[in-house]
Amino acid sequence: MLWYKAWLETRARFLTLLATVTAVCGFFIYHAQGDMLPGWRLERDFDRLLLINQQILVFLWIFGVVLLGMGGIVREKAIGTSSLTLALPVSRARLVGIRVGLGIIEAIALGVVPWTAVFIVSSLAGMPILITQVGLYLLLLVGGGLVYFAAAVLVSSLVSGEYTAPCVAFGAILLPTILSDAYLPLCLNNRRLVTGSFSVDTITFLVSGHLPWLGILASLFAAVLLLWASILVVQWREF
């Protein structure tokens, strides 16, 4: 019943985030026509809107998965329930693993549901939205974005404060982002990867099938390393 416990712990956060992000994206697309800049023509430039939608979504999504990555046994120690959880006949790796597993499912849902809403709204309005585009954007989001979730999980296993942990997590994500924007070559910039900047055709604004697979794999690999580090930290810590 550890999945159930993790669900009870993240349920409120998750549903609130889901509703908010879906509403924002749906709202944005719904009013797409009215937001068109002068000179944009609907058919061609609709895909530009989708790109903007992805950028909005990425921003909100990263915010959301950082919050979803909070919690865990270290936070339980601050609340006072860690003696109960750690006395269970369950390994610490499993405790972290289940929390992370549910978090990943929630993170994926946090991308899928808003994009689905966008797809439905656009289709109903007769906009030229392709489901393959939605799929590709999702792949970029989750493939490149889980590393942010993993960073949040690692921070939450090191910092226990209810407000300090998310702040440190945001800082831990913001700093490398700013630094990579400023100093790293463009191709190593994960943020650009996630928002689709690398994959979008500059003329058609369609996401091409040639996704930056290497970048996605590197990002996922980094996520795995961070999660593995979180498990090690939790195993090493004393409660």
Partner 1 sequence: MTNEPAIFTHALAKSYGSAEAVRRLNLSVGRNRITAFLGRNGAGKSTTIKMLLGLIRPSSGEGTVLGKRIADPEENREMRRRVAFVAEDKPLYGYMTVEQIIRFARSFYPDWRIDVERTLLRDYDLPAHRKVATLSKGMRTKLALLLAFARRPELLILDEPSEGLDPVGIESLLQTLVSQSADGVTVFFSSHQIAEVERVADHVCILEQGCLRLDASLDSLRELYRRIDLVFAFPPPEREFQISGVERIRTKGRQMSLFVSGNAEAVTERAHNLNASSVEVAPVGLREIFLETVREN
Does 92 bind partner 1 (CB under 8 A)? Our answer is: yes
Q: Which stretch binds partner 1 (CB under 8 A): 28-36, 88-96, 97-105, 187-195?
A: 88-96
| # residues contacting partner 1 (CB under 8 A) | 20
Does 7 bind partner 1 (CB under 8 A)? Our answer is: no
Sign of the CA dihedral running 11, 13, 14, 20? positive
Q: Which of 34, 37, 39, 84 binds partner 1 (CB under 8 A)?
A: 84
Nearer to partner 1, 34 or 80 (CB): 80
Does 8 bind partner 1 (CB under 8 A)? Our answer is: yes
Q: Which stretch binds partner 1 (CB under 8 A): 4-12, 38-46, 104-112, 170-178?
A: 4-12
Nearer to partner 1, 4 or 221 (CB): 4
Span 9-28, contacts to partner 1 by CB under 8 A: 9
Contact characters 208-237, partner 1, x per CB under 8 A: ---------------------------x--
Nearer to partner 1, 8 or 19 (CB): 8
At residue 146, what is the residue type? L
Does 191 bind partner 1 (CB under 8 A)? Our answer is: no
Q: Residues interacting with partner 1, by CB under 8 A? A: 1, 4-5, 8-9, 80-84, 86-92, 235, 238-239
